[in-house]
Chains A and B, each alone.
Chain A
């Protein structure tokens, strides 16, 4: 009933420390994609043809997917100190909606991620990135949907695992294969058959394909529909699981 209002309250709470140190927060999870852009992407320009005629157009959407993955998948780390200190328990003891406690946090992470994505896209423009403006807008929406799914799952795992070192190990075990099998670094078309098949089972790879089509302005490309469907299903499943867990743990 009051979930919307409660979500706003939790979102505002989560945003406050972020807004006090915007630069630190933004840089925190941006480092990895930025390093890839600076230290890896130039290699691709030396491989003409492999990524289509414009390597930036191919590489940057993948980096945004990586950014979304790192910013949201690691979000659970922000919850763990509050679980240990008692702040999470204090909020659970209030009448605030259980789903709002989850959604408000996820929305804060999405906000940070979108700002980071905009910064990266803007920074790449002088280097020759020429994306379709409508496509970029749609790509950011798709990233946000992916982020809702991944972020919710991250909080879910954090609440179940409860301790940082296990959570870190779990994240490593999950995010590395998701990145390697997503084709953000090199085209998965180059992969042997079994590896390509594995990458098709990775939801992130479909989102990456959709992001690339959107940046190129191919809004009707089949990969856009597939990537969107995959991201929406992931988000819905995560939210159902997440809110249910919040109710049970409360």
Chain B
């Protein structure tokens, strides 16, 4: 559905040329649900804008839905849906009107555009908002209207740029249930960008981690987490002496790595932390290092990013 080859985009700034996207190679098959994950400024949106023909590449190329983005941008546009970072409806336009206009822009006849608009308004729970100007809609309603506009022509491929930014958790969940249902019904390929770790983790079947305009990791959320050496086990002790003893005892267990002591806290990495825990507790008891608390955490995508770049994704996000 998407093939990019050395896709590159430079921007001229006062301090010289900035490479926003550097030689990106990406293949997305039909029916995939892919999240492009990375901090702000990583090049996610620039990539999406090139794939949706809103921005010409500086070099390299891409075919999207079987059409070349440079040679046949109109062909690409006809085959894709795009939900941008901003709100797509004009502030003084009625929700229903914008939806019908959007359908007409994709070549639908008036009656068909109206029929699909009504169906989408109902499916996306926008019936009550249909006759309101977009400026009077709530944030969640606006975003659902954006999604409806991205879907009215039933594209094979839907791009979503930061679809849930600014939404409360309830609206986010609601939005995703709609997108996922539509995908299940029509087999739509979905490519989204996000800097929400939990969103990429929960929704995407494949996560492409982008940093400084390059792909630095690509796989299912579980595969990516596998790159981090094990679960994080945090032990709390009563005294610093006990912590040192605990660290020593824990370090002797097979498989433990990255043992760190911080005051009365000990942190270490171990594969299958849940399975190791009983043995670990016995070893610590035997070493005379009583614990006041213990916690096992599965790796998060942030751990993946941290392992790959030495930086936390949370610092990059606002």
B-to-A contact residues, CB < 8 Å:
52-54, 73-74, 77-78, 80, 82, 84-94, 97-98, 101-102, 104-107, 133, 146, 149
Q: Which of B91, B92, B105, B149 contacts A96 (CB 8 A)?
A: B105
- Of all A-B residue pairs in the complex, the 5 with the closest CB atoms, nearest first, are A86-B86, A90-B88, A94-B105, A93-B82, A17-B92
Contact A9 B104 (CB under 8 A): yes
Q: Is A125 an interface residue (CB 8 A)?
A: no
Cα distance A86–B78 in the bound complex, in angstroms: 19
Known interface pairs A13-B93, A16-B93; A94-B86 also in contact (CB < 8 Å): no
Cα distance A94–B108 in the bound complex, in angstroms: 12
B146: A residues at CB distance < 8 A: 90
B150 to chain A, nearest CB (A): 9
* Interface residues in A204-250 (C-beta closer than 8 Å to B): 250
Contact B84 A86 (CB under 8 A): yes
Contact B54 A92 (CB under 8 A): yes
**Can you list 22 A-B contacts with CB-CB less than 8 angstroms, sorted by A residue number?**
A12-B101, A13-B90, A13-B101, A16-B93, A85-B86, A85-B88, A85-B90, A85-B91, A86-B87, A87-B86, A87-B90, A89-B54, A90-B82, A90-B86, A90-B89, A90-B146, A90-B149, A93-B77, A93-B84, A95-B78, A95-B106, A250-B53
Contact B97 A95 (CB under 8 A): no
Main secondary structure of the interface of A (DSSP, over half): helix
Interface string of A106-126 (1 = CB under 8 A from B): 000000000000000000000
A93: B residues at CB distance < 8 A: 52-54, 77, 80, 82, 84
Cα distance A95–B85 in the bound complex, in angstroms: 19
Complex: chain A residue closest to B113, CB-CB: A9
Cα distance A87–B104 in the bound complex, in angstroms: 15
Cα distance A86–B85 in the bound complex, in angstroms: 7
A19 to chain B, nearest CB (A): 11
Contact A87 B89 (CB under 8 A): yes
Known interface pairs A6-B105, A90-B84, A90-B149; A95-B74 also in contact (CB < 8 Å): yes
A95: B residues at CB distance < 8 A: 74, 77-78, 105-107
Q: Is A81 an interface residue (CB 8 A)?
A: yes
Question: Given A9-B105, A250-B53, A250-B73, list of 16 further CB < 8 A pairs?
Answer: A13-B93, A13-B101, A16-B94, A17-B92, A17-B93, A82-B91, A85-B86, A86-B84, A86-B88, A87-B87, A87-B88, A87-B93, A89-B54, A90-B102, A93-B84, A250-B54
Contact B106 A13 (CB under 8 A): no
Cα distance A89–B82 in the bound complex, in angstroms: 10
Q: Is A91 an interface residue (CB 8 A)?
A: yes
Complex: chain A residue closest to B86, CB-CB: A86
Cα distance A81–B90 in the bound complex, in angstroms: 8
